[in-house]
Chains A and B, each alone.
Chain A
Amino acid sequence: MNWRAVQAIYLFEMARTWRTLLQSIVSPVVSTSLYFVVFGAAIGSRITEVDGVSYGTFIVPGLVMLSVLTQSIANASFGIYFPKFVGTIYELLSAPVSYFEIVLGYVGAAATKSIILGLIILATAALFVPLHIMHPWWMLTFLVLTAVTFSLFGFIIGIWADGFEKLQMIPMLVVTPLTFLGGSFYSVNMLPSGWRTITLLNPVVYLISGFRWSFYEIADVSVALSLGMTLSFLAVCMVLVWWIFRTGYRLKN
């Protein structure tokens, strides 16, 4: 293992975060606060409780997941897309690093960033609503798994994208709708049964449900299923990344 290379990539990516602190950390915190004001205060005053939890409290795990998902994808996809775009990728390809090390550096940094972000948002939420976490270790497990999985997914998008438009396309057209429809702001049980069935095809439902369970022990689907789905998606992403590097897809001509 070329640990020094992993460290170099990781620190390089983290340095980028500190340089773009406003965009990386502050703006998600601001938008999350807005969600609290709009959904928590305005709508929450009409929906008093969901599954025995106040509405403001209920949406916290979904909000954290919303940011972690989108930020993981954004960070990781930009992290690998940018060297491709400006051409500095030559150095990565000509260095004595394995694909695994490259992924570890980039995905590790992107995941770290979104985990920190998730925790900041959680802390922000605690200012608005009373929070209690029943299973903190499970909460962290779901947080880390989701951050890693979606950073991997973002890494794949970053390699696939050959323009800024494509870089935005998947997050905007696929991930954001899936997240909003994945039970961030409501319980899947609140939907009519037909919609409920369709919603269960949405992978994000399982992430949010599992994450919410670790807070309040309320879930739309069983925790085991949530964990299983998250791990499956992680496995799919890993296989894709492995294939990308094996074939040099969009990296080597």
Chain B
Amino acid sequence: MLSMSPIISVANLSKTYGSGFKALNGINLDIRRGEIFALLGPNGAGKTTLISIICGIANLSEGRVTVDGHDINRDYRAARSLIGLVPQELHTDAFESVWATVSFSRGLFGKPKNPAHIEKVLKDLSLWDKKDSKIVTLSGGMKRRVMIAKALSHEPQILFLDEPTAGVDVELRKGMWEVVRALQASGVTIILTTHYIEEAEEMADRIGVINKGEIILVEDKAGLMQKLGKKHLKLYLQSKVEAIPPALAAYHLELSEDGREVTYHYDTKGDRTGITSLLSDLRNAGIRISDLDTTQSSLEDIFVSLVRAP
């Protein structure tokens, strides 16, 4: 069981830029110790702003953020030394070697030299054979791993990954998630933002959806899928029908334009899905079925419906 006190606590956080643009509006969010939390939201929703404030890159306008009980402003040293950040953009010192830049990060976070740890991090990220290479010579995927290595160099308790797999090939992405899972197993809390909803679905324990600077939902992934996850039963008809018979009105069926497909929406959580009675009522109405198919709302569908909602 995860520990009771949240490792990050965001309370009434607002951020207004100098231009007057309100990027975040009254954010309340607790991150649990040891979880993988996925923050989803469209471009410009405020994901990066939120992360930047927690990590100390941007100032907050209102509200309070604590990291393991340490206020990010008053007690910034304690708060920041717990955090490793991998930003979205590939910001690297082109002419430094991989080893030097990762060791630099460790020093910057006030940790004593520990070549064994750096070696382990580089090996875990398949960067060991590149340790003496200048960063400018590396591929984009390798540069991203260098940034992850920098973030892990000081053994953080919390790791922020802002769009970690943007522009990373499938193979590498899988490797990266293995690293993330191993980190979680060692007790590190991970907060990631991603555009790839399948990733959140696959990786996260909990999911938060942010849109227009407001958190619109925070839920256990399973709960979210269950709460909003509708199943759809698609029935392929043997012959075309012009309209749904009135006797079947209670099922709220959708008829396709060509009159050959009928879709029924049902809730997996309900005790009775109504499928059995639907099938028998269809037969009674003289509609014959040639095939059927069920699908479940993906997180993507849920996400799109949430973000599009007025």
Residues of A near any B CB (own CB < 8 A): 2, 4-5, 7-9, 11-12, 15, 19, 86-98, 248, 252-253
* Complex Cα spacing A15 to B93, Å: 12
| Residues of chain B from 92 to 110 with CB closer than 8 A to chain A in the complex | 92-96, 100, 104-110
Interface-side segment among B50-58, B168-176, B186-194, B251-259: B50-58
Across the interface, A5 reaches (CB within 8 A) one of B18, B78, B108, namely B108
Q: Is B76 interfacial (CB-CB < 8 Å)?
A: yes
Across the interface, A2 reaches (CB within 8 A) one of B77, B79, B96, namely B77
Residue of B at shortest CB range from A86?
A: B91
What are 30 A-B contacts defined by CB distance under 8 Å?
Answer: A2-B110, A4-B108, A5-B107, A5-B109, A8-B104, A8-B107, A11-B107, A12-B100, A15-B100, A86-B92, A87-B87, A87-B91, A89-B91, A90-B85, A90-B91, A91-B91, A91-B108, A93-B55, A93-B57, A94-B55, A94-B85, A95-B108, A96-B80, A98-B77, A248-B59, A252-B58, A252-B59, A253-B17, A253-B18, A253-B58
Residues of B near any A CB (own CB < 8 A): 17-18, 55-59, 76-81, 83, 85, 87, 89, 91-96, 100, 104-112, 150
Cβ–Cβ contact B100 & A97, under 8 A: no
Cβ–Cβ contact A90 & B108, under 8 A: no
* Chain A-chain B contacts (Cβ-Cβ < 8 Å), number: 74
Across the interface, A94 reaches (CB within 8 A) one of B57, B92, B107, namely B57
Across the interface, A95 reaches (CB within 8 A) one of B92, B96, B109, namely B109
* Chain B CB within 10 Å, residue with most, of A4, A8, A96, A253: A96
* Complex Cα spacing A98 to B62, Å: 22
A-B CB proximity, top 6 nearest: A8-B107, A87-B91, A96-B77, A96-B80, A94-B55, A2-B110
Taking the closest CB of chain B, its distance from the CB of A196, in whole angstroms, is 46
Across the interface, A90 reaches (CB within 8 A) one of B57, B77, B80, B106, namely B57
A7 touching B107 in the complex, CB below 8 Å, given contacts A88-B92, A94-B55:
yes
Taking the closest CB of chain B, its distance from the CB of A58, in whole angstroms, is 41
